[in-house]
Amino acid sequence: MTNTTHIAPDALEDLRKQIEGSVFAPGDSGYDKARMTWNLAVQQFPAAVVMATSDADVVAAVRFAGQQGLKVGVQATGHGVIRPADGSLLINTAQMAGVEVDAATQTARFEAGAPWGAVLEKAQAHGLAPLLGSSPSVGAVAYSLGGGLGWLARKYGLSADSVTSFDVVTANGRTLHVSADENTDLFWGMRGGGGGFAIVTSMEIKLYPVAEVFGGNLVYPAALAGEILRRYRDWIATLPLEFSTSVALMNLPPLPMVPEFLRGKSVAMVRGCYCGPVGEGQALLQPWLDWQAPIANLFHPMTFSSVAEVSNDPHDPVPGATTGAWLSELSDTAIDALVRYGVSINGSSPFVLTEVRHVGGAMASVDHNSNAFPHREESLLLDVTGMAPTPEAHAFVVNYAREFKSALEPAISGLYANFTERDEARHAVAHSFPPETLQRLAALKAKYDPDNLFDYSYQLGDGADAS
Ligand SMILES: Cc1cc2nc3c(=O)[nH]c(=O)nc-3n(C[C@H](O)[C@H](O)[C@H](O)COP(=O)(O)OP(=O)(O)OC[C@H]3O[C@@H](n4cnc5c(N)ncnc54)[C@H](O)[C@@H]3O)c2cc1C
């Protein structure tokens, strides 16, 4: 176990009295579970973990941290840890997972720990859809703080643009309602600028009338990856906003959880979700089927509640390393790099997934100054994930990804906060904001968190790094 800040027993006792939920400190039997993240490659050793059950718990924890001189980390699921919460008071919101849907106003309001799946389920009961991403296990709040691009992105845009309000706890332990009418500076900055300004306790979003979609994967042999990416480049130029698509190069492990016909194989998949009439989606997909019969055609009409089938991301915790980038183009050189690094030949690539998503569409059509999200003109998004069961494997994946990105460099136009983690998220994301936006975000940080209590988020100012 790494060195961790110690909280005096009487202070800990005092904290326990103030918290309705639970408090775990090193040595407590629940501590190891409470400090766990979804990404098992992250090991973190907070001074204590508060499993919050209410806004009042969050307020009490923040005030306690201030009095004790502790920094505050916050976590819902641990899918996107920016900086391991070593030595912090970690506020875990997983038990704050209430969701309410108002079908009449087509909105959902939920607590900070709600995973997208919980929002999806309640919304789909009314034929409505939230703008979740590829995995329903991801936390809805942090996903939206970073932007949030999923299978309805081209039609309905970023999740951040659909947020109508937040309830937050600030660094001085005050509760604020944040919306287009109240605390508007925070409303601007938290949508796209991340969670370093205040702790969200609940969030309200717009929902959209999407009940059925046509979605799935065409699975081709990896030997066709280059040709598929070249065809994809032309195909996406013809697609309506209803069709959000990607190409995924996958190196599948030889594990029982993988369907037998894919076990241990490398494949290239054309993925998509069409939210218009099914027949139109089938017609738009037809050029692929005319070109070459896939190993498997997994496209089918489905209720939107099943949309996670398209990406089939792991639900249970796994040890991984992820990175990504915006791509300005799918040039032949970029395609060569994607295939060279993404397709494993005799174990040459540690990546499980190299995915290029076609985004753009609705995210470009809102006022570019309406919030802090900086990448509205981008249309191609790269996402790369490798398995990292040991620190050595993690270092290998990170180095390999660095080399891969160098080979792609001419096509890389910036970083997408949600597809970065750890050092890259903490230090590099800021470089992706235009200088005026970064300046505004730094001013917001100075106003709402002048002592950098929430020092486990993106580093947007000059704050010293204690790690
Ligand atoms: C399998 C997988 C699939 C994904 N798919 C997509 C996708 O399709 N599209 C997309 O855009 N992104 C996607 N992501 C990225 C994901 O949106 C981010 O990693 C997101 O930050 C995860 O949120 P979380 O609550 O699940 O994770 P956590 O690790 O719990 O939170 C991430 C960070 O957010 C901050 N935070 C958490 N809760 C709060 C709060 N209440 N108040 C303030 N700050 C807070 C903290 O700094 C925390 O470190 C995916 C990630 C994974 C692992």
81 lines ligand 1 (CB under 6 A): yes
What is the CA(78)–ligand 1 centre distance, in A? 7
- pTM to 2 decimal places: 0.97
457 lines ligand 1 (CB under 6 A): yes
Please state the rounded mean pLDDT for residues 279-288: 98
Burial (CB count within 10 angstroms: exposed 0-12, middle 13-18, buried 19+), residue 368? middle
Contact between residue 166 and residue 187 where contact means Cβ atoms under 8 Å apart: yes
pLDDT in tens, 373-388: 999 999 999 999 999 9
Give which of 189, 191, 214 is closest to 203, Cα–Cα. 191
152 lines ligand 1 (CB under 6 A): no
Burial (CB count within 10 angstroms: exposed 0-12, middle 13-18, buried 19+), residue 13? exposed
Please state the rounded mean pLDDT for residues 94-98: 98
- Give the residue, by CA position, lying nearest to ligand 1 atom 32: 80
Atom of ligand 1 nearest to the CA of 75: 30
Atom of ligand 1 nearest to the CA of 147: 11
- Give the residue, by CA position, lying nearest to ligand 1 atom 2: 135
Q: Are strands 300-303 and 380-387 parallel, antiparallel or unpaired?
A: unpaired
Q: State how far the Cα of 104 lies from the Cα of 101, in Å rounded to an integer.
A: 9
Residue 4's pLDDT is 63
pLDDT of 258 above 90: no
pLDDT in tens, 4-28: 678 999 999 999 999 999 999 999 9
Domains and CATH numbers, the chain: 9-92 (3.30.43.10), 99-209+434-448 (3.30.465.10), 212-421 (3.40.462.20)
Phi, psi of 187 (to 5 degrees): -60, -40
Residue 462's pLDDT is 58
